[in-house]
């Protein structure tokens, strides 16, 4: 099990994320109340490092160099769109393979 990401502001934990969806929600929540907190974690590369730690190199690369929580949220939303498109293509390929196998049986 992976360690969660802890958002800290002056040594106080102000948020926790266990996965990418929770990370997005926490960035939105904390960013609207305390933008410097999220921006600091972005600037320091903490979020990118955690994403690599949990194995999400794609999102880590998308957030690399981002310093503003609003830009991070936009890129995370782009990531979800790309992920959904990739899943849809995989489903289409699997369907085509099933169709091809079925037509060979006839």
pLDDT tens for residues 5-29? 999 999 999 999 999 999 999 999 9
Kindly state whether residue 36 falls inside one of the protein's structural domains: yes
Predicted confidence at residue 56, as pLDDT, reads: 97
Kindly state whether residue 99 falls inside one of the protein's structural domains: no
Kindly state whether residue 56 falls inside one of the protein's structural domains: yes
Sign of CA dihedral 90, 92, 93, 95: positive
Q: Look up the domain containing 68 and give its range.
A: 5-81
Over 70: is that where the pLDDT of 104 sits?
Answer: no
Q: How many domains in the chain?
A: 1
Kindly state whether residue 95 falls inside one of the protein's structural domains: no
The predicted model gives 77-98 an average pLDDT of 77
Kindly state whether residue 105 falls inside one of the protein's structural domains: no
Over 90: is that where the pLDDT of 51 sits?
Answer: yes
| Ramachandran category for residue 11: left, alpha or beta (phi over 0 → left; psi -120 to 50 → alpha) | left
- Residue closest to 59 by CA, chosen among 85, 92, 24, 91: 24
The predicted model gives 55-82 an average pLDDT of 97
Kindly state whether residue 73 falls inside one of the protein's structural domains: yes
Kindly state whether residue 90 falls inside one of the protein's structural domains: no
Kindly state whether residue 92 falls inside one of the protein's structural domains: no
Over 90: is that where the pLDDT of 93 sits?
Answer: no
């Amino acid at each position: 099990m992976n360690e969660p990401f802890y958002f800290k502001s002056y040594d106080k934990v102000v948020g926790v994320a266990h996965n990418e969806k929770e990370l997005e929600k926490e960035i939105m929540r904390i960013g609207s109340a305390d933008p410097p907190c999220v921006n600091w974690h972005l600037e320091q590369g903490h979020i990118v490092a955690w994403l690599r730690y949990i194995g999400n190199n794609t999102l880590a690369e998308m957030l690399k160099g981002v310093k503003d929580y609003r830009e991070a949220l936009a890129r995370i939303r782009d990531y979800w769109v790309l992920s959904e498109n990739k899943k849809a293509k995989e489903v289409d390929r699997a369907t085509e393979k099933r169709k091809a196998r079925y037509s060979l049986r006839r």
